[in-house]
A = this chain, B = another copy of it.
């Protein structure tokens, strides 16, 4: 009986870590999750993770051949195979690829969440068939993964695609990175909350958002208020879209992509963000590019397990790249 080749995709998040077995076409055969934040050391985390995985894999393993493991994680470095002092856990600097390979003699690769989302989008989502695009992940912060000439672009030492830290406002909002005016201080779940508080301080118009403390206000609440035509909430989306539209237009003059794909929480706000975003983006573009660059919503988000698909996609891409490189070596 022939077995199906699959990879293990692992998405390490601040609270939970999700994992699943994924075949080449994106079909998911097993998926589950464990809590990330229960583990103060990466070693105990990995023991728990592979215990949970093996428990399920044991029952079906005769039908599958596991050929690689892909991880999406915050502060990950693709070239070094490390996770370097992630903000949300106390693991320090972790040689995660090496740690996993002591247990699994397989190709293992790690990259950050936004890169994983970009490759997931390319392989299974809205970017299928595209060669040059950027994936913007809108969560607590703003991440990005850049695809050039059909492959993920890592840059010189693995840190390309930090669009969230493009400075868009001289002497602007204080950013966690220690600088001021970074895009993600305006465009992210946290950024739009800051914008609401700025607007509440400037205008005296009625708003249901005046009933929330800073800590209790979420981007979901802002979205719901906008749907009910709350002026402050609508203005907040408009301003967020303006900042993002202008930043993306600046991105286009550099890399001339065919599309920009939006993924994550804020992107779920649909027309509230897409309408004004398209307007400001087109308005800000250099003539040369007008009407040529599409802004798309991720179609990965339709999957319950989008992040697992992303993590799986990066190891599939790696396996294919290895086989191409091998072919090249044969002929040179």
Contact surface of A with B, Cβ cutoff 8 Å: 131-132, 146, 148-149, 153-163, 165-167, 170, 177-179, 246, 249-251, 253-258, 284, 286-289, 292, 327-328, 330-332
Contact = CB atoms under 8 A, between A and B. Distances in A.
A148 B132 CA distance: 13
Given A254-B251, A331-B327, A292 B163 contact: no
Nearest to A130: B156
A213 B292 CA distance: 42
Given A155-B255, A286-B177, A249 B167 contact: yes
Given A155-B257, A158-B256, 5 more contacts: A132-B155, A159-B288, A161-B256, A179-B286, A330-B331
A258 B158 CA distance: 11
Contact of A163 (B177, B253, B289): B253
In the A-B complex, the 7 residue pairs with the smallest Cβ-Cβ separation, listed nearest first, are A155-B256, A162-B253, A160-B256, A156-B258, A159-B256, A132-B156, A165-B253
7 contacts: A132-B155, A158-B256, A160-B254, A162-B254, A167-B250, A254-B254, A327-B328
